[in-house]
Amino acid sequence: MQPIHLAWVDYTILLAYVAFVIGIGWTLARYMKSSSDFLTSGRSIPTWVTGLAFISANLGALELVGMAASGAKYGIATAHFYWVGAIPAMVFLAIFMMPFYYGSKARSVPEYLQMRFNKPVMGLNAFTFAVMTVFASGISMNALAKLLHLLLGWNYDISLWICSAVVLIYVLKGGLTSAIYTEVLQFFMIVLGFAPVVWLGLKDVGGWNVLKGNLASVAQSPATIYVNDNKFAPDAWTSAWKPLLGGSANNPMGVDVFAMVFGLGFVLAFGYWCTNFLVVQRAMAAKNMTSARRTPLIAAIPKMFFPMLVILPGMIAAGLAFTGKDGYRLPPPPISQANYSAAVAAVKSASPADTDADVKAVGDALGKKIDSTKIAALIAANAKTKMADEEIQNGIYNSVAENDYDSVILSLVKKYCPPGLLGLALTGLLASFMSGMAGNVTAFNTVWTYNIYQAFFVPNKSDAHYFWMGKFITVVGILLSIACAYFASHYSNAMDVIQLVFGFVNAPVFATFLLGMFWARTTGVAAFIGLFGGICTSTIFHALTIAAGNTPGIKGGYLGIQHTFPSEMAQNFWLAAFAFTGCFVLTFVISLMTKRTKSDTELKGLVYSLTPKIKDEDQPFFARPAVLGTILLIACVIMNIIFW
Amino acid sequence: MGLDIRWPIGLMFSLIGVLLIVVGAANGAQLNINIDLIWGVVLLVFGALMLLGAIRGG
């Protein structure tokens, strides 16, 4: 992809955004008077703000870039990450779990674990969470700096440090409140920056019905655009459930129904949305219990429609690539100009008499998988009529038989956005990365200050001391994130390793919370051993399984292959299911074998059966969390039926 | 906490809306659509509504 040249108006929009987010931090600085103000917002933020921040903190790079990539690869089935893998969990969090998080006055999710169980359980959760947030923040910033380098030709180091400095300034000035307020700004920036790209793309492709026709052709012959070597039913890219019900061989994700519903919809979704402090922190900053319970429900409304904003562009790209309209193709992986030049030279020196050897020479020069038929045709065309180098390079570009899915959304931005709108879309992209980093850093500084530093190293100091530590660790957190970004950029499989560890740690955690919140008999010893056992279960499961097409090693199977899954996604979903089950069974059995250390009185407000139910009768009927949640679940079912 | 977030949101999107309208008017119509002008108006209206809410909401 050739670097894009920005116009003055694009730079103006970028700079205006940066000025406003720093201005918000600066304005809020005067209200930061205690560690509680800085790290927990003093529980003072209105519902609509926490609701949009809740969704924006999750709207990082993965969402914008990754979901468009999956939209091109898998079609509308990607929406399972929303309609199965998010909405039900968000409703559950609002109705059943927020009363305990907020009512217990815990300052963080790990702190709830200390109140419910004991310090070691909190320590294990806090330590793993702190490490993961720093790595997640680093991954996000590495992706942003790489993207700015690839897209705009900006220097990687300068991009990384400047973007990190902007986040540091507004978080250091205004703490969690600043992060939450800027997340609301970022939410609108992302939605309003990308909505016109979707609209123009849909208009260009000829509307939804034409796109469905194009995607039916893609499904029946996905190899045409180098998406998949198998062939599927015509509705594989436009139906969410029918291909899934046909079994793992009949849908492009390679996932079966049980793995999707239990692995993603229950274990991973509830583990993320109900226990990840990064998002729960936004709800815990709400000004009262009602606000805290409504926060995930308000967030669920835009979340339900986000597939239109983030998945549809990928589907549009796949449809456009199949028709080849205006010469569009799914972007190939980055190839250096030196490799292109070598491949052009190989085409020019080729003779039609020895095509097979010449095609191989072009592929070797390019260093990528190529479409032999297209290259052979290019060689023949050049032999017949001498072509210009640029024309040959264009032919080679269209013959690369690999796709760089992460560049799909950028290719559409580049295709449709004139100066002005380009600046808006790029600022939206920048906002998504920054909200991801700020969200991780604010969660990290709270967990470090309260649940690691205060709990284990320096208890009983003044609030001013913890306020200072909160600010100090914010700077450290940003610097560690930058170090992680360099780590991820220097080691080609660093991202795989980090994601793998995330999977091991995250998969079992919901079992601990589920038993802790809904079964008073669960003991601290059982929770600790169960959590640790769940992590071990996922590690062993990974060591004994692999996905088709992978070699034993970082992708699993290094202790012997007991089972081969059709896809990595299926392997990940099943890993989550096993880890959850391992943790659940261990915690349950050990609880029965160990003595309770907390009385019913001590567990009041922490366990469902021992806590008085919140009465919502004084609230308007449609504003009650249970009613709102039910409406959302019905709407979610309707979305699933529409795209069945 | 002392700041109504609708002020910065309203101001920023009004500013961007005006910028897009100016660029759209100057450049005219990859669909024969003047998307800068159209989206500039959308952002300006959105920004104005946010500012109106901030003014009325105190």
Domain ranges of chain B: 6-57
Residue B30 has pLDDT above 70, yes or no: no
Report whether pLDDT(A213) > 90: yes
- 3-state SS class at A256: coil
Among residues A369, A372, A363, A375, which one has the least CA distance to residue A333?
A: A369
Residues of B in contact with A13 (CB under 8 A): 16, 19
The shortest CB-CB distance from B2 to any of A31, A326, A419 is to A31
pLDDT, position A549? 84
Last residue of a domain, which of A379, A402, A425?
A402
Residues 6+ apart with CB under 8 A from A307: A67, A76, A78, A79, A82, A83
Better-scored residue on pLDDT, A384 or A79: A79
Residue A112 binned pLDDT confidence (cut-offs 50, 70, 90): very high
Q: What was the pLDDT predicted at A616?
A: 76
B20 touches chain A (CB under 8 A): yes
The domain that contains A482 carries what CATH number? 1.20.1730.10
Interface touch B1/A31, C-beta < 8 Å:
yes
Inside any domain, residue A527: yes
pLDDT at A562 over 70: yes
A208 and A140 part of one domain: yes
Count the domains in chain A: 3
- pLDDT score at B1: 54
pLDDT at B37: 87
Output the CA angle A417-A179-A485, nearest 5 degrees: 70
pLDDT tens-digit map of A347-361: 888 777 666 788 878
Q: What is the DSSP string of A380-439?
A: HHHHHSPPPHHHHHHHHHTTB----GGGHHHHHHHHHPPTTHHHHHHHHHHHHHHHHHHH
What number is the average pLDDT over the span A440-445? 92
| Partner-chain residue, chosen from A184, A204, A420, that has the shortest CB–CB distance to B24 | A420
Looking at the fold, whether A422 and A317 belong to one and the same domain comes out as yes
The chain-wide mean pLDDT, for chain A, equals: 88
Predicted confidence at residue A2, as pLDDT, reads 60
Q: Is residue A416 part of a domain?
A: yes
Place of tokens 């029918």: A242
| pLDDT in the model for residue A632 | 92
Residues A140, A256 within the same domain: yes
Q: Is A279 exposed, middle or buried (0-12, 13-18, 19+ CB in 10 A)?
A: buried
pLDDT computed for residue A505 by the predictor? 81
Question: Per the CB < 8 Å rule, is A200 touching B19?
Answer: no
- Selecting from A17, A49, A326 the residue whose C-beta is nearest the C-beta of B5 gives A49
Locate the chain B residue with the closest alpha carbon to A195: B39
pLDDT above 90 (res A362)? no
CA distance A44 to chain B (A): 6
Q: Which tens digits make up the pLDDT trace of A513-527?
A: 999 989 998 999 999
Q: Look at B1 and A44 and tell me if their CB atoms are within 8 Å.
A: yes
Last residue of a domain, one of A470, A490, A510: A490
**Exposed/middle/buried for residue A609 (C-beta within 10 Å: 0-12, 13-18, 19+):** exposed
Of all residues in chain A, what percent carry a pLDDT higher than 70? 97
Task: Provide the token pair at A228.
Answer: 């998949």
Q: What is the pLDDT of residues A325-341, one digit of tens each?
A: 788 889 998 888 888 88
Q: Clarify whether residues A99 and A174 are in a common domain.
A: yes
* Residues in B touching A204 (Cβ below 8 Å): 30-31
In this complex, which of A185, A192, A418 lies closest to B36 when CB atoms are compared?
A: A418
The pLDDT of B41-46, averaged and rounded, is 93
What is the average per-residue pLDDT within A235-245? 89
Which whole number is the average pLDDT over A87-97? 93
Using CB atoms, pick whichever of B12, B20, B35 lies closest to residue A185: B12
| Phi, psi of A488, rounded to the nearest 5 degrees | -65, -30
* 3 state SS of A281: helix
Among A336-345, A370-379, A484-493, A620-629, the least confident range: A484-493
Q: What is the least distance, in Å, from the CA of B5 to any CA of chain A?
A: 6
Please enumerate in sequence order all residues whose Cβ is within 8 A of that of A485, keeping only pairs 6 or more positions apart, or say none: A138, A139, A141, A142, A145, A160
Among candidates A305, A200, A259, which has minimal Cα distance to A643?
A305
Across the A/B interface, how many CB contacts are shorter than 8 Å?
87
Would you place residue A375 in the very low, low, confident or very high pLDDT band (cuts 50, 70, 90)? confident
| Bigger pLDDT: A536 vs A42 | A536
Q: Tell me which chain B residue has its CA closest to the CA of residue A44.
A: B1
Question: Which residues of chain A lie closer than 8 angstroms to B22, CB-CB?
Answer: 9
Mean pLDDT of A102-128: 90
**Residue A62 tokens, joined:** 């993965």
- For residue B27, list chain A residues with Cβ-Cβ distance below 8 A: 418-419
Whether residue A142 is contained in a domain is answered as yes
Residue A23 domain-assigned (yes or no): yes
Residue B12 Cα, gap to closest chain A Cα (Å):
7
Alpha-carbon dihedral angle through residues A565, A570, A573, A578, given to the nearest 10 degrees: -20
CB contact under 8 A, A420 and B23: yes
According to DSSP, residue A250 is labeled G
pLDDT at A91: 95
Asked whether the predicted pLDDT for residue A1 surpasses 60, the reply is no
How confident is the model at residue A522, as a pLDDT? 92
Within a domain: A277: yes
- Torsion sign across C-alpha atoms A229, A231, A234, A238: negative
CB atoms A192 and B13 under 8 Å: yes
- Inter-chain CB proximity B46 and A416 less than 8 Å: no
Contact predicate A109/A280, CB 8 Å: yes
Q: What DSSP state is assigned to residue A556?
A: B
Q: What range does the domain containing A343 cover?
A: 334-402
Say how far apart CA A283 and CA A413 lie, in whole Å: 33
Chain B residues within 8 A of A179 when measuring between CB atoms = none
The pLDDT of residue A495 is: 60
Domain boundary among A349, A370, A402: A402
Question: What pLDDT, on the 0 to 100 scale, is given for residue A62?
Answer: 62
Residues A89, A196 within the same domain: yes
Whole-number pLDDT of residue A443: 94
pLDDT cut 90: percent of chain A above it: 39
Residue of A12, A20, A21, A31 to mutate, testing the B interface (most B Cβ within 10 Å of its Cβ): A20
Q: Is B28 on the interface with A (CB under 8 A)?
A: no
Chain B nearest-CA residue for A38: B1
Q: Which tens digits make up the pLDDT trace of A252-275?
A: 988 888 899 999 899 989 998 999
Can you tell me the mean pLDDT for A460-469?
91
Contact B1 A177 (CB under 8 A): yes
Our CA-based measurement puts residue A579 at a distance from the nearest CA of chain B, in whole angstroms, of: 42
pLDDT at residue A127 tops 80: yes
CB–CB of A181 and B3 under 8 A? Answer: yes
Greatest pairwise CA separation for chain A in angstroms: 89
Looking at chain A, the number of H-run helices and the number of E-run strands are 29, 2
Q: Which residues of B touch A203 (CB under 8 A)?
A: 31, 33
pLDDT at A201 over 70: yes
Q: What distance in Å separates residue B52's CA from the closest CA in chain A?
A: 17
